[in-house]
């Protein structure tokens, strides 16, 4: 296995662990990790929708807000955002405007919606579709590790 794929898989595992932490705190099970061009972890972002009482407090959006405060555009352009689940349209927009150059995700939005098929909050528009309309390219890789990423969602979206 080549080094890039090994690194991607390892960092996706880390994003899934962040998603579990979010779930353990009573939030939706989503997590993200930002790494620099050398694979060093710069930031992690948890979903805080429930604890912050903010429907826009998705893991990727939280991470992007923090990243933009700490790093310049040239640094972010060389970064990769790892997401436990495919970024939603809002988060894809945030990623685009932040200047982050690469996204790798574990669970596809299609697979996520299998957990909550009747949710009124579905906005089925993949991040590739959103990002392809931007004025600069953002590399998108995924889904990868869907079986592992599915586990953090098991039982969360079902009514009690």
Active site (catalytic) residues: 60
- Secondary structure element (H or E) that encloses residue 91, with its range: helix 89-98
Q: What residues contact 30, with CB distance under 8 A and at least 6 apart?
A: 19, 22, 46, 47, 58, 59, 60, 83, 84, 85
3-class SS at 104? strand
Q: What residues contact 109, with CB distance under 8 A and at least 6 apart?
A: 85, 86, 88, 124, 126, 127
Cβ atoms < 10 Å from Cβ of 64: 27
Cβ atoms < 10 Å from Cβ of 84: 31
């Amino acid at each position: 296995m080549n080094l890039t794929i090994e690194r991607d898989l390892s960092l996706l595992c880390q994003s899934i662990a962040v998603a579990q932490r979010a779930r353990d705190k009573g939030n939706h099970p989503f997590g993200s990790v930002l790494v620099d061009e050398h694979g060093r972890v710069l930031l992690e972002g948890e979903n805080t929708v429930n604890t912050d009482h903010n429907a826009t407090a998705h893991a990727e959006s939280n991470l992007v807000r923090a990243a933009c405060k700490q790093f310049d555009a040239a640094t972010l352009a060389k970064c990769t955002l790892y997401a436990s689940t495919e970024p939603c349209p809002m988060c894809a927009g945030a990623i685009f405007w932040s200047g982050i150059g690469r996204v790798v995700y574990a669970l596809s939005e299609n697979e996520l919606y299998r957990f909550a098929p009747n949710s009124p909050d579905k906005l089925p528009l993949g991040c590739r579709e959103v990002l392809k309309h931007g004025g600069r390219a953002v590399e998108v890789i995924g889904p990868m590790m869907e079986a592992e990423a599915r586990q953090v969602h098991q039982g969360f979206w079902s009514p009690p």
